[in-house]
């Protein structure tokens, strides 16, 4: 949320500099907030390098003998998964926790991000003394298939052509992501995960893990998510995709080959999505109708209001680190997600006879994945006779709450994992 940051004030991609009467308008050159990136801008070839060889990551490769069979009916082979780990796997390999990232997350969950130089996206939850302590657990965080930080995705090099996949990369699903993660687990020699934890799209993966591999998941913590994407959520995603595809620099997805980059479209997509991550109350509390560094309106299309500057900043910084095609693929995967449909129309059947114990968490002000969705998940788990605890946390921070300082969430995750540890026979220290 960048507290204390000075947001970009001037016109966004087109700098609209007005005299205050709208009679002087100039186009400014494209502005990128590059000052925070150690590697300068995010030129396509730069992004492609991270897409194939991400910094500060481990990579698992899967050759022709181990194809990834996709829901689309094709196989991906060869492919790779970029991932990070924290802590040490214990002797009986019973202390592994898989952390699944959200739409625009990646494997840098508990370490500085190589592009943004920001702290890991879930260092509030994972780290020494935190609810998921690497001194106790072996934490694995993979970049999802379809992502752009080293796992095979549209920005990766297609080994058959030596060029970026672009839209020739097959469309993947949440189930495909989890299928690939299970293959990573095989390669790591781990049979059963002590826990799978994630929020938003990460939470979808948690639920998919429990549905696809119930015997491999001892405990599951799906946070701020649902077992299917709603019509409204599909609609918001579709607007983001159209914003990207409407950018002439998208070039039918071939921008990496043609030396262009649909930054503008991707930034607009991010701006729109970002509103859905916050609550009306949070926006009101943070920004209200406050003007940006001035007393009165400019009567122009400058960013008069702080909330405008904030959103522009979100858009501009996002395109530094994310691939536009990857955004298309991952939003599509979320849209397709529908555990009940996969289970013949009855959600409870997705979890029938599950041995996994669940801790479902939602937030009162989350309107992207409202509590009603988590409650539906809990009802289905009850119907499947699963062990499930459920917490709705009161906060005005909206969907983003799962990434923010929410002591109640930390306490719940800590307590749930403690109990599960005892049930699993994990000692306090390895």
Least distance between a copy of itself and beta carbon 188 (Å): 29
User: Taking a C-beta distance cutoff of 8 angstroms, is the pair 69, 149 a contact?
Assistant: no
List the one residue from 49, 59, 67, 71 that touches a copy of itself (CB under 8 A). 71
Least distance between a copy of itself and beta carbon 278 (Å): 8
308-347 residues near a copy of itself, rule: CB under 8 A: 308, 311-312, 315, 328, 332, 335-336, 338, 341
List the one residue from 10, 72, 257, 423 that touches a copy of itself (CB under 8 A). 72
Q: Does 10 bind a copy of itself (CB under 8 A)?
A: no
Q: Dihedral of the CA atoms 93, 97, 100, 106 (nearest 10)?
A: -80
User: What would the DSSP string read from start to end of 292-343?
Assistant: SSSSS--SSSS--BHHHHHHHHHHHHHHHH--HHHHHHHHHHHHH-BHHHHT
Q: Does 1 bind a copy of itself (CB under 8 A)?
A: no
Give the β-pairing of 138-142 and 79-86: antiparallel
Q: Lay out the site mask for a copy of itself across 235-274 (x = CB under 8 A, - = otherwise).
A: xx-xx-xxx-xxxx-x-xx----------xx-xx--xx--
Least distance between a copy of itself and beta carbon 194 (Å): 33
Q: Does 20 bind a copy of itself (CB under 8 A)?
A: yes
Least distance between a copy of itself and beta carbon 27 (Å): 5
Closer residue to a copy of itself, CB minimum distance, 241 or 397: 241
Measured between alpha carbons, how far is 235 from 232 in angstroms, rounded to an integer? 5
**Active-site residue flag, 57:** no
Q: Catalytic residue, from 366, 374, 400, 421: name it.
A: 366
**Active-site residue flag, 385:** no
The 10 Å Cβ neighbour count of residue 332 is 18
6-10 own/partner pairs: CB under 8 Å, 24+ apart: 7/292, 7/303, 7/306, 7/309, 7/310, 7/312, 7/313, 8/33, 8/303, 8/309, 8/312, 8/313, 8/316, 9/292, 9/293, 9/302, 9/303, 9/309, 10/302, 10/303
- Beta partners for residue 405, in sequence order: none
How far apart, in Å, are the Cα atoms of 108 and each of 47, 390, 418?
16, 28, 25
Closer residue to a copy of itself, CB minimum distance, 222 or 315: 315
- Beta partners for residue 390, in sequence order: 360
Q: Which two tokens stand for residue 185?
A: 């687990």
Q: Does 42 bind a copy of itself (CB under 8 A)?
A: no
Q: Catalytic residue, from 247, 399, 400, 421: name it.
A: 399
Closer residue to a copy of itself, CB minimum distance, 300 or 356: 300
Q: What is the distance between the terminal CA atoms of the chain, rounded to a whole angstrom?
A: 36
Nearest to 5 by CA among 275, 286, 257, 208: 286
Stretch that binds a copy of itself, among 36-44, 111-119, 232-240, 389-397 (CB under 8 A): 232-240
Closer residue to a copy of itself, CB minimum distance, 23 or 65: 23
Q: Does 146 bind a copy of itself (CB under 8 A)?
A: no
Question: Taking the alpha carbons of 401, 405, 410, 412 in that order, is the dihedral positive or negative?
Answer: negative
Stretch that binds a copy of itself, among 119-127, 132-140, 279-287, 415-423 (CB under 8 A): 279-287
**Active-site residue flag, 399:** yes
Measured between alpha carbons, how far is 417 from 358 in angstroms, rounded to an integer? 10
Look at residue 344 and give its three-state secondary structure: coil
List the one residue from 58, 67, 214, 287 that touches a copy of itself (CB under 8 A). 287
List the one residue from 230, 260, 364, 382 that touches a copy of itself (CB under 8 A). 230
Residues whose CB falls within 8 Å of the CB of residue 91, separated by 6 or more in sequence, listed in order: none
Closer residue to a copy of itself, CB minimum distance, 89 or 341: 341
Q: Does 40 bind a copy of itself (CB under 8 A)?
A: no
Closer residue to a copy of itself, CB minimum distance, 100 or 268: 268
Closer residue to a copy of itself, CB minimum distance, 14 or 410: 14
Site size toward a copy of itself (CB under 8 A) is 75
Stretch that binds a copy of itself, among 20-28, 39-47, 113-121, 140-148 (CB under 8 A): 20-28
165-194 residues near a copy of itself, rule: CB under 8 A: 167-171
How far apart, in Å, are the Cα atoms of 368 and each of 244, 277, 358, 400?
21, 7, 21, 10
Q: Catalytic residue, from 151, 152, 200, 279: name it.
A: 200
List the one residue from 64, 91, 231, 428 that touches a copy of itself (CB under 8 A). 231
Nearest to 287 by CA among 305, 312, 313: 305
Catalytic positions are 200, 366, 399
């Amino acid at each position: 949320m960048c507290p204390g940051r000075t947001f970009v004030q001037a016109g966004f991609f087109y700098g609209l500099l007005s005299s205050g009467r709208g009679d002087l308008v100039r186009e400014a050159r494209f502005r990128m907030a590059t000052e925070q990136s150690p590697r300068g801008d995010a030129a396509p070839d730069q992004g492609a390098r991270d897409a194939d060889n991400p910094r500060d990551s481990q990579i698992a490769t899967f050759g022709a003998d181990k194809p990834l069979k996709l829901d689309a009916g094709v196989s991906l082979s060869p492919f790779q998964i970029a991932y990070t780990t924290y802590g040490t796997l214990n002797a009986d390999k019973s202390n592994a926790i898989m952390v699944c990232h959200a739409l625009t997350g990646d494997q840098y969950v508990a370490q500085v991000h190589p592009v943004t130089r920001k702290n890991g996206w879930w260092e509030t939850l994972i780290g020494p003394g935190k609810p998921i302590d690497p001194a106790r657990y072996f934490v694995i965080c993979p970049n999802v298939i379809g992502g752009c930080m080293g796992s095979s995705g549209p920005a990766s090099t297609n080994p058959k052509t030596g060029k970026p996949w672009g839209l020739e990369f097959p469309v993947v699903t949440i189930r495909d992501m989890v299928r690939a993660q299970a293959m990573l687990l095989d390669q790591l020699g781990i049979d059963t995960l002590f826990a799978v934890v994630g929020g938003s799209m990460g939470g979808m993966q948690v639920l998919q893990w429990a549905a696809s591999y119930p015997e491999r998941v001892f405990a599951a913590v799906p946070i701020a998510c649902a077992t299917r994407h709603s019509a409204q959520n599909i609609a918001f995603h579709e607007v983001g995709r159209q914003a990207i595809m409407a950018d002439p620099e998208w070039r039918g997805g071939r921008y990496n080959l043609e030396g262009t980059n649909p930054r503008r479209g991707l930034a607009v997509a991010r701006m729109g999505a970002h509103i859905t991550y916050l609550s009306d109350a949070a926006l009101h509390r943070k920004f209200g109708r406050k003007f940006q560094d001035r007393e009165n309106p400019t009567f122009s299309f400058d960013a008069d209001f702080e909330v405008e500057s904030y959103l522009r900043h979100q858009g501009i910084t996002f395109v530094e680190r994310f691939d536009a095609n990857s955004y298309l693929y991952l939003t599509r995967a979320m849209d397709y997600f529908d555990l009940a449909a996969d289970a013949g129309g009855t959600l409870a059947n997705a979890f029938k006879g599950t041995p996994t114990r669940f801790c479902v968490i939602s937030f009162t002000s989350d309107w992207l994945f409202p509590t009603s969705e988590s409650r539906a998940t809990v009802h289905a788990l009850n119907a499947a006779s699963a062990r499930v605890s459920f917490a709705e946390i009161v906060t005005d921070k909206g969907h983003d709450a799962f990434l923010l300082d929410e002591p109640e969430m930390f306490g719940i995750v800590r307590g749930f994992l403690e109990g599960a540890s005892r049930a699993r026979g994990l000692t306090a220290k390895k």
